[in-house]
Every structure is written in C-alpha cells, then in structure tokens.
Amino acid sequence: MALAEEKSMIKVSVMYPNTPGARFDHDYYRDKHMPMCKEKFGSACKRYSIDRGLAGGAPNTPATYVAMCHFFFDSVPAFQTAFAPNAKAIMDDIPRYTDLSPVIQISEVVAD
C-alpha cells in the first residue's frame, strides 16, 4: 500500500446498521444496485467495494453494519456532480433490497 500523497482521493461510505428483523438482500445489492450506481456515476467513480458484516470485534457480538459499500472519487465535488442527477434513481432502488436507512460518510483516503 502506498500513502496517497501524489493524488488525493475521497471515499463515500454507505453503512447499513445491523438491525434485528430488518431486511437486506445481499444478492440484489451486489448484482443489481451497486453495478447500477457505478454505471450512473460513470468514470467519475474510480471503483467501489462491498462488505458483508460477519461479526463484531468482541467474541460473540454481531457486526455493527449488515453491509457497507465504499465509492471512490477524485474529490467531493466530483462525487456531488456525479450523484446529483442520479439521486432519485438510486434512492428509488433502495427499497428493492432493504428497509434500512444507511449511515453515509465522506472520507479522505489517507492510505490505500
């Protein structure tokens, strides 16, 4: 891994709280929703990753998030420009795989 010195990058993390009884379709998320987002964002989105929660840090504890994804962009404005015209299509797709409301965070990628 190299420190991101030459070229800064930002990451948009979307984290779904692991709520008992909630619905989350991991297959739809991986096979439909995330590829659709990537297609809408176009080349502004450099890549993305998807995590499926397995466990918490302490023994026999659940994961805090049932799923997380991370979208990589060159900058916050690059993300905003890519997201704004597609916000409705992306938001409208969420009920197809979950009834959860995600926690969203924008971060600077310090090392990757």
**Contacting positions for its own copies (CB under 8 A):** 1, 3, 10-15, 26, 30, 34, 47-58, 63-65, 68, 76, 102-112
- Which one, of 109, 110, 105, 93, lies nearest residue 17 by Cα? 105
**Residue whose entry in the numeric block shows the structure tokens 């979950």:** 98
Instruction: Tell me whether residue 34 or residue 100 sits nearer to its own copies (CB atom).
Output: 34
Residues 6 or more apart whose Cβ sits within 8 Å of residue 28: 96, 97
Name which of 47 and 96 has its Cβ closer to its own copies: 47
Residue 3 Cβ vs its own copies, minimum distance, rounded to whole Å: 7
| Angular region, 41: left φ>0, alpha ψ -120 to 50, beta rest | alpha
Q: Name the residue with tokens 């379709």.
A: 25
Q: Which is nearer to its own copies, 1 or 42 (CB)?
A: 1
Q: Shortest approach of its own copies to residue 50 CB, angstroms?
A: 4
**In the complex with its own copies, which residue's Cβ is closer, 11 or 82?**
11
- Minimum distance of its own copies from residue 9's CB (angstroms): 10
Q: Say how many C-beta atoms besides its own lie within 10 A of residue 49's C-beta.
A: 12
Minimum CB distance to its own copies, residue 79 (Å): 11
